Structure 1
Amino acid sequence: SFPAYMTHWVAPSPIAEHSLGLLESIKVIFGGSLMEHDLFDSMTMATPLDSIKTGLTQHKTIDEIRSGAVFGSLGGVGWEWVANWYALGGFYLLYKRVISWRIPVALILALGVPAGIFYLSNPDHFASPVFHIFSGGAILGAFFIATDPVSGSATPRGRVIFGAGVGLLTFIIRTWGGYPDAIAFSVLLMNMATPLIDHYTKPRVFGQRGHHG
């Protein structure tokens, strides 16, 4: 273990190169930078889904929230292009028959249809289905997470139910839950239901009669 490092504040490397005087320390605290020409390594901000949820709690409309700089034409600025590339990769997996089409299609429909219904009923309070699909991890989850062959359903009908369950849970948690995005939680919840889904959607063996046959 490293008790000294764990119990002391460690200065960032540009500041640790030399000791700071009183005036330099004040400059760092109030100016935010030691050097005049320092560059940013990164910037952090709320995600588009988080901005929507926070804005709705402040009694703003969807149009007022989406007027912010973080939003683009489909989802968030930059996020929508990431979703497009994820979709392109997903289509390639479908073309190569690495994954089945049932889970992605069922997931996107189960997310988009209820989102569209609520959006049409009250567009000031509910985000559009296009925004739901192109924001967060919806496309990533539809093609690369929910289609996991080990934890997902193995039957054709079960895959439809599994994908639809993930999409519907994602919409419910995003809209009324406390978490902005919900793909991970939805996939985990449906993974727990996979054995039950496979049990009731197991294809009948050829030549096998029903219980009353």
Structure 2
Amino acid sequence: MSDLLNVSSNPHVRSRVKSSDIMLIVLISLLPASIFGVWHFGFNALLLIVVSVASCVLTEYAYERLMHKKVTIKDYSAAVTGLLLALNLPSSAPWWIPVIGGVFAILVVKQLFGGLGQNFMNPALGARCFLLISFTGRMTNFAYDSFTGATPLAALKAGEAVNVWDMFTGNIAGTIGETSVIALLIGAVLLLVTGAIDLRIPGTYILSFIIFVLIFSGHGFDMQYLAAQLCGGGLILGAFFMATDYVTSPITKTGQLVYGCILGILTGLFRIFGNSAEGVSYAIIFSNLLVPVIEKLTPPTAFGKSRRREKA
């Protein structure tokens, strides 16, 4: 029989770009923030990054070998999870924190639900939220250069003045990967230039967050306050590197816009009205859970069909 008559399951149109190619781009794009984090916080930041990546990769390898499944560590997804988890940790965390987080991210959030492409939430953020609940004191101890104090967002929430330039350049307390907006934007540009992501989700996320802050923060059009909210916490890291995760974000174009709006509203809601100064992680996790509903409500128009209902 001619190959033209062979019947196969979808997808019928495939891209030459492999998952490993995309994950490698993400790893490279995270290098500026990682390098800055190590330079800013010192050796313990490097130790946490190495331990976190190793824990995730080894957990995935061990589970797949024990379950007699194909070993998939060469797709770099476990390495990306480990690096993102490390960048969401304070540099003062002990080495066993990323070990527990890495095992939870890969085993509980990813592998027990079927592996890459089947997890219902971002594994790195799922692990971070688990660690925040389990080890709150250690996960909120932000220290650097022999100084322990509140993050700029916490100070901002308490009504104190903050230095926006220091927040932009990274001369502040915070997690390993969230402090330098410059380093994160360099990585984000790489993701956009290579086509690994587009601006639909991060752009909608940030824009809707800005609108929410302008309306509900009580500071009106105070650009100093708005800039501090944009530069503080994990907003840039979350918007470009975690909210855009292919597995846990909508595949429909309209759904991505809706998803971005929900992210911005939830982040603003958690930051301004919640007890915590931050809210990106929980906003992304909660929005991940809504993705099936968003996709169901925003299906693309089938080829040859019109959005307008035909009259009977």
Q: Within 2, Cα distance between the matches of 1:42 and 1:206?
A: 61
Matched, 1:66 2:66: no
Where does structure 1 lack aligned partners over 5 or more consecutive residues? 1-39, 57-64
Matched, 1:43 2:147: yes
Q: Within 1, Cα distance between the matches of 2:252 and 2:208?
A: 19
Aligned residue in 2 for 1:78: 171
Aligned residue in 2 for 1:5: none
State the TM-score, normalized to the length of structure 1.
0.66
Letter in 1 for 2:167: G
Deviation beyond 4 Å, 4+ runs, structure 1: 209-212
List aligned pairs for 1:7-22, cutoff 5 A. none
Contact 1:173 1:179 (8 Å CA) reproduced: yes
Shift in Å, 1:166? 0.8
Aligned residue in 1 for 2:220: 121
- Provide Cα deviations, 1:145-195, integer angstroms capped at 9, x if missing partner: 100000111111111111121111111110010111100000011111101
Aligned residue in 1 for 2:239: 142
Q: 1:81 to 1:187 in 2, by over 3 A?
A: closer
Contact 1:174 1:180 (8 Å CA) reproduced: yes
Matched, 1:177 2:271: no
Q: Within 1, Cα distance between the matches of 2:274 and 2:260?
A: 20
What is the aligned counterpart of 1:88 among 161, 186, 191?
186
Contact 1:75 1:130 (8 Å CA) reproduced: no
Where does structure 2 lack aligned partners over 5 or more consecutive residues? 1-143, 173-177
Q: 1:153 to 1:48 in 2, by over 3 A?
A: same
Percent identity, aligned pairs only, is 29
Q: 1:200 to 1:120 in 2, by over 3 A?
A: same
Shift in Å, 1:41? 7.1
Letter in 2 for 1:145: M
Aligned residue in 2 for 1:97: 195
SS of the equivalent of 2:148 reads coil
SS of the equivalent of 1:181 reads coil
Structure possessing the higher radius of gyration over alpha carbons: 1
Q: Within 1, Cα distance between the matches of 2:306 and 2:224?
A: 48
Contact 1:111 1:129 (8 Å CA) reproduced: no
Shift in Å, 1:210? 6.0
State how many pairs are aligned. 160
Q: 1:74 to 1:197 in 2, by over 3 A?
A: farther
Letter in 1 for 2:150: A
Q: Within 1, Cα distance between the matches of 2:220 and 2:180?
A: 29
RMSD: 2.7
Contact 2:250 2:256 (8 Å CA) reproduced: yes
Q: Within 1, Cα distance between the matches of 2:307 and 2:211?
A: 35
SS of the equivalent of 1:206 reads coil
